[in-house]
Chains A and B, each alone.
Chain A
Amino acid sequence: MIGRKWWVPWLWLSPALLLSGVFLLYPTIDTIRRSFLPRGSDALIGFDLDNYRFIIDNPQPLVADTHSALLNNFMWLTVFTAITVALGLVIAVLAARVRYEAVAKSAIFVPMAISFVAASVIWRFMYEFNPDIGTVNAVLKEVGGAPTRWLQDTGAPQTPFTHAGPDSLPHPLQINNFALVFVGVWMWTGFAMVVLSAGLKGISTEILEAARVDGANEWQIFWRIIIPNLSPTIAVVTTTLVIQALKKFDLVWVMTAGKFKTDVVATLFYKEAFLFNNPEIGAAVAVVLLLWVVPIMVISIRRFQFQEETR
């Protein structure tokens, strides 16, 4: 019997192991190795910390603003994730109560079906400064507001009618960063909604009816019944979105190329490694991103294991 031999599971595993070894493990180790090399070095191994010092000291704020990229990514992580999960949840709950649920959900899910680069190009047109081209500014102009430079304005978000605000703000609070995050939310709300909606359908109607019989109002049902029952699904959605936020690249690259202080970690490391010919600094930036992702992965794996055990 072939099934009893010790090497059989390894045989089945080998294609996956080989693939993840060649395409994941090797590049990861090589990136870490490279991040400790001095610039332009051919050495096999080194213990140089200059590349990490570069990230901390931020000596070239014009081309590679490491601080702003880290702060922006933190903003993506928190604001993008929070808004998307909240919106997805609200829409999933509300849509379940109307007759045209399928239509409403499809409409919100459609952006997910568009390639991210295509969606970013579309939104570049939407945000165009010239109101004859940019839909957002055309609407603003129609209602009497001033056109806003959505992708270039480094000021704080402000009402469209009082177009003067403080110029020097912490970078993540810039109007253009929020404009980018909005596009991310537009793309990902559909995903959050569909997954949460499926989770919602899984909550047994008996619990809901029991609550209603006990005299709970809809608000209490939402907070006391739906949310706790949905929390594993919310956790899954949040984890997915957090990872999305951390590796955000396409949207920023297509829409602003990181100009006007909209860089995130992924665009910064691409620029350093592939455009500015500093692969060692690029590697260090990538390692920082990796360090950021690892705890989130650990938490989600722990949670998954916990759920498996309690099942």
Chain B
Amino acid sequence: MSALVRARLVFLSISVALFLSVLVAAACGDDDEKTEGTTTPAGGSAASLSGKTVDVLGIWGSEEQADFEAMIQQWKTDTGAQVKFTGSRDINSLLTTRVAGGDPPNVALPASLGIFQDLARDGKLTPLSACPGLEDKVKADYAKQIVDLGTVNGKLYGVLMKAGNKGTIWYNPKFFQENGYKPLTANSSFEDLLTLTKQIADDKDAGKHDVFPWSDAEEAGGGSGFPGSDWIQQIVLGESGPDVYDDWVDHKIPYNDPKIKQAWENFGKILLEPRFVLGGAQRALATKFSEGSIPLFTQPPQAAMHYLGSFNSNFITDTTLGFPPGLKPGTDFDFFPFPGGGATGDANVMMLFNSDPATCSFAEWMAGPDSQEVWVKRGGFTSLNKKLDLSAYPNDLDRRIAQQLTDPATTFRFDADDAMPSGVGGDNGAVFTGVLNYLSGGDLDDTLRGIDAAFPAGASP
């Protein structure tokens, strides 16, 4: 055997060995994961939790993770238990994979009702009643409609925690005061919103000021069109009420039902009228959602109102997006409730995968007002717990955002597109694309029929 052939043989065997080791490593990947998760043995009282670890899967990272750590510090000190927290924006696929692989976390907090309901229906979750006293505590602390959202097939499985409020219309209070416009209240109707819009547009045409009633922004990459989808769900909830809203979300009425069509038409009455929207729908389609409020705060302002969820207050105070520095909540920018008395929104849904004492104790702490107050004080947390002292919020604006959600007069419903099946709701889904189509001048009936056709066959009523 020549030296060359031998060298080649050595090379070959090395490459085969390398290749095989890659294969083996890939095959063993699951096993590695399994040893990572800590399973807490059952038994023992709350006092003897030291040495126990709760495996928690959430979405928070960096700053928010620090807030979360602050929130659970007290519990860790009291019980002596530890928390193993994994935060990922990609929580839904992570959770699905871990559950399918037989290695669920102890507690998960995704920001999606859809995955929660799927897991509960598949029997993967532990009902809160399995933890002594937890179910009663949640029912005492949270409004019935919030408890209902965490209930699947008559059993309470989830607690809605950190919430986002999508019933907020942002405006420039100084401009409103100077021109005598009154912000709407919870008792206003969509008709009132149209009247206010027309008044501002008429005053603009009469030369009183040069400010359009609305600015709108729909561009969000794969999520483009979501602000429009939020508009529509708010109008459906406010104008047709929660029962129609629920039927619509569950696809018990077709997507092109006259009531839903009416909501889209109302949306179009504002968005498709060039007199009402700065730059018309064309500008809205090409403007980033995070920059939609900028025209409200330029000198002089170019638009009076902008509709986007409560997270918009983070954008307005972010000068890197192009907002002027030093805008103060309440005086420089403010919101009024979306007319109709309803608020849609999303929340982190806390769910349990076992009822070990450590898991139960952790869940009870998280659901309670004391823990949430820690984060509320640090800012950026809107709580749904009605026992939480509203004075904990860092400013009046944040307080009113939370108040609107915990107010018994407000009908709260989860984001509609989140609960619709993939392909219909969510990024790149039919609803978002439908909004873009409608705002681009597409026929409304075609659009609605198109969205209805995107529901999986068999789900059609």
Interface set, chain B 437-454, CB cutoff 8 A to A: 437, 440-441, 447, 450-451, 453-454
Interface set, chain A 139-157, CB cutoff 8 A to B: 149, 151-152, 154
Task: Given A257-B222, A277-B422, verify A149-B286 contact (CB < 8 Å).
Answer: yes
Other than A60-B430, A129-B283, A154-B440, give 20 A-B pairs with Cβ distance below 8 A. Answer: A19-B19, A22-B23, A60-B454, A62-B433, A62-B437, A63-B428, A63-B433, A63-B450, A63-B454, A129-B286, A167-B441, A257-B222, A257-B428, A258-B428, A271-B428, A275-B422, A275-B423, A276-B423, A277-B422, A278-B423
Report whether A62 and B430 are in contact in the complex, using a CB–CB cutoff of 8 Å: yes
The answer to whether B285 has its CB under 8 Å from any CB of chain A is yes
The answer to whether B199 has its CB under 8 Å from any CB of chain A is no
Report whether A62 and B454 are in contact in the complex, using a CB–CB cutoff of 8 Å: yes
Task: Given A2-B1, A14-B16, verify A151-B286 contact (CB < 8 Å).
Answer: yes
Report whether A149 and B285 are in contact in the complex, using a CB–CB cutoff of 8 Å: yes
Give the number of residue pairs across the A-B interface with Cβ within 8 Å.
Answer: 87
From A60, A167, A259, give the contact of B436 (CB < 8 A). Answer: A259
Report whether A275 and B428 are in contact in the complex, using a CB–CB cutoff of 8 Å: yes
- Closest Cβ–Cβ distance, residue B201 to chain A (whole Å): 23
Roughly how many angstroms separate A98 CA and B429 CA in the complex, as a whole number?
Answer: 52
Report whether A257 and B224 are in contact in the complex, using a CB–CB cutoff of 8 Å: yes
Report whether B450 and A61 are in contact in the complex, using a CB–CB cutoff of 8 Å: yes
- Closest Cβ–Cβ distance, residue A193 to chain B (whole Å): 32
Roughly how many angstroms separate A63 CA and B432 CA in the complex, as a whole number?
Answer: 9
Report whether B5 and A3 are in contact in the complex, using a CB–CB cutoff of 8 Å: yes
Interface set, chain A 226-280, CB cutoff 8 A to B: 257-260, 271, 275-278
Report whether A62 and B450 are in contact in the complex, using a CB–CB cutoff of 8 Å: yes
Interface string of B202-235 (1 = CB under 8 A from A): 0000000000000000010110110000000000
The answer to whether B427 has its CB under 8 Å from any CB of chain A is yes
Roughly how many angstroms separate A297 CA and B441 CA in the complex, as a whole number?
Answer: 42
What are 9 A-B contacts with C-beta separation under 8 Å? A2-B1, A15-B19, A39-B456, A62-B451, A62-B454, A63-B450, A149-B285, A276-B429, A277-B422
Report whether A257 and B221 are in contact in the complex, using a CB–CB cutoff of 8 Å: yes
- Closest Cβ–Cβ distance, residue B341 to chain A (whole Å): 31
**Which of the four size classes fits the interface of chain A?**
20 to 34
From A11, A149, A277, A278, give the contact of B12 (CB < 8 A). Answer: A11
The answer to whether B105 has its CB under 8 Å from any CB of chain A is no
**Which of the four size classes fits the interface of chain B?**
35 or more
Interface string of B265-283 (1 = CB under 8 A from A): 0000000000000000011
- Closest Cβ–Cβ distance, residue A113 to chain B (whole Å): 25
Query: Residues of A with Cβ closer than 8 Å to B?
Result: 2-3, 11-12, 14-15, 18-19, 22, 39, 59-64, 128-130, 149, 151-152, 154, 167, 257-260, 271, 275-278
From A15, A62, A151, A258, give the contact of B15 (CB < 8 A). Answer: A15
Interface set, chain B 128-184, CB cutoff 8 A to A: none
Roughly how many angstroms separate A218 CA and B450 CA in the complex, as a whole number?
Answer: 57
Chain A residues with CB below 8 A from B285, complex form: 149, 152
The answer to whether B403 has its CB under 8 Å from any CB of chain A is no
Roughly how many angstroms separate A168 CA and B401 CA in the complex, as a whole number?
Answer: 43
The answer to whether B79 has its CB under 8 Å from any CB of chain A is no
- Closest Cβ–Cβ distance, residue A127 to chain B (whole Å): 9
The answer to whether B434 has its CB under 8 Å from any CB of chain A is yes
Roughly how many angstroms separate A278 CA and B457 CA in the complex, as a whole number?
Answer: 12
Report whether A62 and B434 are in contact in the complex, using a CB–CB cutoff of 8 Å: yes
Report whether A277 and B423 are in contact in the complex, using a CB–CB cutoff of 8 Å: yes
Residue among B8, B16, B454 with most chain A CB within 10 A: B454
Interface string of B1-45 (1 = CB under 8 A from A): 100010010001001100100010000000000000000000000
Which 6 pairs between the two chains have the least Cβ-Cβ distance? A129-B286, A62-B450, A276-B423, A257-B222, A149-B286, A63-B430
Chain B residues with CB below 8 A from A12, complex form: 8, 12
- Closest Cβ–Cβ distance, residue A187 to chain B (whole Å): 20
Task: Given A2-B1, A59-B453, verify A18-B224 contact (CB < 8 Å).
Answer: no
- Closest Cβ–Cβ distance, residue B283 to chain A (whole Å): 7
